[in-house]
Amino acid sequence: MTKYPPLIDPFNRKINYLRVSVTDRCDFRCVYCMSEKMQFLPKKDLLTLEELDKICSVFIEMGITKLRITGGEPLVRRNILSFFKSISRHLITGDLKELTLTTNGSQLKKFARPLFDLGVKRVNISLDTLNPEKFKRITRWGKLDQVLDGIQEAKEVGLAIKINKVALKKTNQDELNKFIQWCGDEGFDLTFIEVMPMGDFGEEDRLDQYWSLKDLREELEKKWTLKDISLTTGGPARYSEISETGQKVGFITPLTHNFCESCNRVRMTCTGQLFMCLGQEEDADLRSALREGSDNDHLLRKRIMQAVDRKPKGHDFDYSRKKISGQMSRFMSHTGG
């Protein structure tokens, strides 16, 4: 594979992590992610699996070493295993160091084994409650038993599991210690995430949902002993270790303490829009470079380099003063988690 100079943004951050949404569709309608009556993109606007592979491969040529597949729910994309099978060739050559997945867990019972066999060694699973009634309320359409069965299948086949839990005020505050104990008993790492102002829902109040992880951590420390550690997994989380269980707990805090100074990632949507920052609207159109250019490899590399040259210093998310600032019009399911 031809090697190109590393991608360095204007603030001297090396970009080696690409998050790719393969679909905006999902079998859940989580209250912080989607409208219940979601209008999905026309299928013709979505990149084909072959186009996704092409763009990801160009990124890998340009120094991307970690690739995370997201959605929507990526495992509802038809024939998605063919994409994993194709892109895993870069794991074999060593050009790609890690291929990972973020999922809601609903399809893991079916997909955990083939994903593991194709080189996926760890998954992030979004799970905000262990209470079936709350789960139904948060996801609107989901079934907790189906997700838990999928999680156990992933564990049995050997996938390392990290649970992602969005902190939702007045919704899952009372399950804080239960989650710590459950993840500790199962051997799962756990990351808490502040709800972000993505998408205009109308029926959901972002400020009412928002639970500061500063406050959450203070609650944790009433029962558990937390020791900050220097672990980094290439993402935005800051980690602590819980002495009583030995597990790692991460905190993703875009509002109370942003993680922008160490940002090493860009995000591509299922339509080929490249967002240099989750919390900014500016994007680059890679789909047109792929579909309209005669020398599309060269044009893709040029668009990618130009985009990285415009990567901002940080996002503008802010819930202070009892109002939302920096709200993004696009839904999280469109950008990719």
pLDDT number for residue 162: 96
- Kindly report, residue by residue over 34-69, the tens digit of the pLDDT: 888 888 999 899 999 999 999 999 999 999 999 999
- The residue assigned the tokens 């079934």 is 143
Cα–Cα distance for residue pair 94/83, rounded to 1 Å? 18
pLDDT number for residue 337: 56
Rg over CA atoms, the chain: 19
How many domains, in total, are found in the chain? 1
pLDDT number for residue 329: 54
Q: Residue 291 belongs to what H/E stretch? A: helix 286-292
Is residue 200 situated within a structural domain?
yes
Is residue 328 situated within a structural domain?
yes
- Tallying the residues shown for the chain, one arrives at 337
Is residue 10 situated within a structural domain?
no
pLDDT number for residue 258: 55
Closest Cα to residue 162, out of 74, 233, 66, 245? 233
Is residue 5 situated within a structural domain?
no
Is residue 12 situated within a structural domain?
no
The CATH number assigned to the domain holding 329 equals 3.20.20.70
Is residue 144 situated within a structural domain?
yes
pLDDT number for residue 235: 64
Lookup: tokens for 305: 């380099």
Is residue 8 situated within a structural domain?
no
Cα–Cα distance for residue pair 19/71, rounded to 1 Å? 10
pLDDT < 70 positions in the chain: 196-208, 233-235, 254-259, 279, 293-294, 315-337
What phi and psi, each to the nearest 5 degrees, are found at residue 161? -120, 130
pLDDT number for residue 231: 80
Three-state SS sequence of 78-123:
CCHHHHHHHHCHHHHHCCCCEEEEEECCCCHHHHHHHHHHCCCCEE
Is residue 300 situated within a structural domain?
yes
The domain in which residue 248 lies consists of 17-335
Q: Residue 194 belongs to what H/E stretch? A: strand 189-194
Closest Cα to residue 83, out of 126, 110, 120, 44? 120
pLDDT number for residue 216: 94
Give Cβ neighbours of residue 103 (< 8 Å, ≥ 6 apart).
Answer: 71, 73, 74, 75, 123, 124, 125, 126
* Pairing of β 283-285 and β 98-103: unpaired
Q: Give me the amino acid identity at 251.
A: F
Sheet holding 189-194, edge to edge: 226-229, 238-242, 248-252, 189-194, 160-167, 122-126, 98-103, 66-70, 17-21, 265-268, 273-275, 283-285
Cα–Cα distance for residue pair 186/267, rounded to 1 Å? 31
